[in-house]
Amino acid sequence: MTERRGFPFTKPSPCTGLCEFDGRTGWCLGCGRTIPEIRAWRKLTPYRRTEIKRASPTRTSSAGCERVWL
């Protein structure tokens, strides 16, 4: 991990700023993560983050919202 101005540098969060949750699945309509995944994001391994990002398009579309990862 690289440090920048005294803070550890991590990959940015996939948050889109649309923080609304599907009551049925618990997935965020913006990024497709659950509340526990959002809370743990900085501590997750790169492998787990990649898994969540890959699942996100399926999660958001089944919850009624389209999200495209760049």
Count of the separate structural domains present in the chain: 1
Mean pLDDT computed over 41-68: 83
Mean pLDDT computed over 48-60: 91
In a domain, residue 53? The reply is yes
In a domain, residue 13? The reply is no
Is residue 2 pLDDT above 50, yes or no?
A: no
In a domain, residue 4? The reply is no
Contacts 24+ apart (CB under 8 A), 52-60: 52/14, 53/14, 56/14, 56/31, 56/32, 57/32, 58/32, 59/25, 59/27, 59/32, 60/27, 60/29, 60/30, 60/31, 60/32
In a domain, residue 9? The reply is no
Asked if 31 and 15 count as a contact pair (C-beta separation under 8 A), the reply is yes
In a domain, residue 17? The reply is no
pLDDT at 36: 96
Mean pLDDT computed over 47-63: 88
Q: Which domain holds residue 47?
A: 22-70
In a domain, residue 66? The reply is yes
